[in-house]
Amino acid sequence: MNKHKTHDTVTVAEQRTEQEKHLKERLKQHIQEIEKKIQELREAVKYHKRSAQAAIKDSERIFTELICSIERSRSEKSVSHLRKKLEDFCHKEIQIISSRVNSIQIIPFIEPKTREEFLQYRNHFTLDPDTLVY
């Protein structure tokens, strides 16, 4: 610095060096701020990535549970439908069997005591070949 009459003067080279120093400090600060923001963005990206993965995992779990619920519902409806058909079939069969049982007449069997009585009833006896045991 030079003294010029009543005030100090600065040479152009000194002023330029001072401005470059000041500019370098500002640039360094600006670079540090940008690096800090980049780091914050990286952390935010990591956080959002983890959140997205968790959301995907939850969505897959919910979707799987929904599919199982639908399959269970279909199965229950199918079982219910088959149960109804079976009940209807059994009810019809019971009606058929009941009507047959009601139409059967039981004829009291009188055991023959004489030869003539035996000959009188012998024509009524028949053998069913399907039930015959050899």
In a domain, 107, yes or no: no
Most confidently predicted of 9-13, 48-52, 125-129: 48-52
**Residue 130 resides in a domain:** no
Q: Give dist(CA 87, CA 80) in Å, integer.
A: 10
pLDDT tens digits, 39-75: 999 999 999 999 999 999 999 999 999 999 999 888 8
Q: Residue 69 and residue 56: Cα distance in Å, rounded?
A: 20
Q: What are phi and psi of 126, to 5 degrees?
A: -135, 150
Find the helix or strand (DSSP H, E) in which 119 lies: helix 115-122
pLDDT, position 124:
57
Q: What is the pLDDT of residue 132?
A: 61
Least confident range of 10-14, 39-43, 63-67, 76-80: 10-14
Q: Is 134 helix (H, G, I), strand (E, B) or coil?
A: coil
Lookup: tokens for 35: 């690096």
Flag whether pLDDT at 85 surpasses 60. Answer: yes
Residue 74 falls within a domain, yes or no?
yes
Q: Which domain holds residue 67?
A: 8-102
Type and span of the H or E element at 33: helix 12-103
Of 25 and 97, the structure prediction assigns the larger pLDDT to 25
67 domain-assigned: yes
C-beta separation of 89 from 80 below 8 A: no
Asked which of 49-58, 84-93, 95-104 is least confident by mean pLDDT, the reply is 95-104
Residue 33 pLDDT level (bands cut at 50, 70, 90): very high
- Over its C-alpha atoms, the chain yields an Rg (Å, rounded) of 54
Please check whether residue 33 lies inside any domain of the structure. Answer: yes
115, part of any domain: no
The answer to whether position 27 is within a domain reads yes
In whole angstroms, what is the distance from residue 40 CA to residue 38 CA?
5
Cβ atoms of 96 and 102 closer than 8 Å = no
Report yes or no on 1 lying in a domain: no
Q: Look at the chain and report how many structural domains it folds into.
A: 1
pLDDT tens figures, 100-125: 777 777 667 677 788 887 777 666 55
